[in-house]
């Protein structure tokens, strides 16, 4: 019997085998009913106050080994700078990458890290000046693949900590929602071993659908969307077929979040 590419063989037998294992005499001839499209109404109707959403985010984020700092807006610059320096000292950070985001710049985090002896690499296309501490990857300079990478990407790969400002934070799963732009490279949240995220309390939503609704609002064409959308829920976790869990393989292994009220 000839076989064509994309042709399925043995489908009925495969489904019949699954049906028998489920204790059914034969596969159902009608598809299952789908009374809901998307989230059911009772879930859509759940409303939480800002403080409740903050508590939910903290509960889930810390359960995943993340750490959270909640600060009042009037104390944000001093408190976040102090905590960031503390984290850098504890984790041995010498270089940090940062989104070119107005909120991060206004907090003066570059100055705070400079006081701790940490060099900051902003994600800023066209900025090719080498930081003073960039010699850490000298042994990799001879690799052909490394040489082909953009200078900005090579500098980010040398950083131990990445600072971002997500578009949304989802309270009930403690998920950060990041849209990629030329000033907000996804590499900052993927290549560094430590993620340091800052956002305002009014960016917290309860459901994932609310975040997606905000992202899609007003867009009528695919070209209006970011090139990538990253959803980050705690540190990177990877497991093989034997369920051996490893932290920090496909992203940061340590995560910190700051909520500004």
- Residue 245, H or E segment: strand 245-247
DSSP string, 106-145: HTTHHHHHHHTT-EEEEE-TT--PPPTTGGGGGGGGG-HH
pLDDT in tens, 132-180: 333 334 444 445 565 666 888 888 889 999 999 999 999 999 999 999 8
- Residue 83, H or E segment: helix 76-91
pTM score: 0.77
DSSP string, 16-59: HHHHHHTT-SS--SSPPP---SSS-HHHHT----HHHHHHHHHH
d(CA 200, CA 175): 14
Contacts of 233 (CB under 8 A, 6+ apart): 60, 64, 173, 174, 175, 176
Do 109 and 80 meet the contact criterion of CB atoms below 8 Å apart? yes
d(CA 55, CA 136): 40
**How confident is residue 119, by pLDDT bands cut at 50, 70 and 90?**
very high
Q: Which residue is associated with the tokens 């070119």?
A: 100
Q: What's 201's DSSP letter? A: G
The confidence score (pLDDT) of residue 46 equals 86
């Amino acid at each position: 019997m000839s076989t064509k590419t994309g042709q399925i063989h043995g489908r009925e037998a495969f489904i019949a085998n699954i049906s028998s294992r489920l204790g059914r005499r034969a596969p159902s001839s009608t598809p299952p009913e789908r009374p809901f499209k998307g989230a059911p109404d009772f879930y859509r109707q759940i409303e939480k106050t800002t403080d409740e959403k903050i508590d939910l985010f903290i509960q889930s984020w810390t359960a995943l080994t993340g750490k959270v700092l909640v600060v009042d807006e009037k104390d944000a610059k001093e408190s976040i700078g102090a905590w960031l320096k503390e984290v850098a000292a504890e984790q041995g950070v010498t270089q940090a990458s940062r989104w070119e985001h107005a909120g991060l710049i206004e907090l003066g985090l570059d100055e705070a890290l400079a006081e701790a002896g940490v060099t900051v690499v902003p994600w800023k296309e066209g900025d090719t000046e080498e930081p003073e501490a960039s010699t850490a990857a000298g042994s990799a300079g001879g690799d052909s693949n490394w040489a082909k990478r953009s200078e900005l990407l090579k500098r980010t790969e040398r950083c131990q900590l990445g600072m971002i400002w997500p578009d949304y934070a989802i309270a009930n799963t403690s998920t950060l929602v990041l849209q990629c732009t030329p000033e907000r490279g996804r590499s900052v949240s993927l290549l560094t071993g430590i993620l340091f995220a800052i956002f305002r309390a009014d960016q917290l939503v309860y459901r994932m659908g609310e975040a997606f609704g905000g992202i899609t609002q007003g867009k009528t064409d695919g070209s209006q969307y970011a090139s990538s959308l990253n959803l980050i829920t705690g540190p990177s976790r990877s497991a093989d077929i034997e369920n051996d869990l490893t932290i920090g393989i496909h992203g940061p292994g340590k995560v910190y979040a700051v909520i500004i009220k």
